[in-house]
Amino acid sequence: MPDLQRLHPDHAPALLAFEQENRAYFAASIPDRGDDYFTDFEARHAALLAEQATGACHFHVLVDTAGEVLGRFNLVDVADGSAELGYRVAEKATGRGLATATVRRLCTLAAKEYGLTTLRASTTRDNLASQTVLTRAGFAPTGEELLLSGRPGLGYVRSTAGEV
């Protein structure tokens, strides 16, 4: 079973490979990161680790037994017991329930390790796979209409109070 690990410096090469290999796949459903993201990857990775050290964010990678990154699962904008969940899973790892299982694991981790009680998430209206993952992981639609990089989106929320 893949392992959910807190992001650390050694993940950089595998994480960059993950992002490059899945760039076109991700761009079909979420905004592309742009060329600068890849050009300045090492600096961006170091900045994420520095931000994580402040407690404002908690970044994770899902890795297989060979150390290959299968997904990213992040908690950002941590404040007042809540955070925003974001995730992306490699195209070759989809359809196996990994995203749902990992989001559930991250919800438990958010409560037990980070003391978070509420998680928010959002997805574009046309990303049915992400909507399914969020619903199966216990998130409920907020009814909030969002614009995500100019695309119509939906907001979700989940309490982690019962996770502890």
pLDDT digits (tens, 9 = 90+) for 63-104: 999 999 999 999 999 999 999 999 999 999 999 999 999 999
Give me the residue spans of the domains in the chain: 3-163
User: What distance in Å separates the CA atoms of residue 37 and residue 61, rounded to the nearest whole number?
Assistant: 18
pLDDT of 145: 84
Mean pLDDT of the chain: 94
Alpha helices, H only, the chain: 12-21, 23-27, 35-39, 41-53, 98-112, 128-136
Domain at 3-163, CATH class = alpha beta
Global pTM value: 0.93
The stretch 117-123 carries a mean pLDDT of: 96
User: What distance in Å separates the CA atoms of residue 117 and residue 40, rounded to the nearest whole number?
Assistant: 34
In our burial notation (b when 16+ CB lie closer than 10 A, e otherwise), range 128-143 reads: eebbebbeebbbeeee
The stretch 28-34 carries a mean pLDDT of: 81
The stretch 46-60 carries a mean pLDDT of: 97
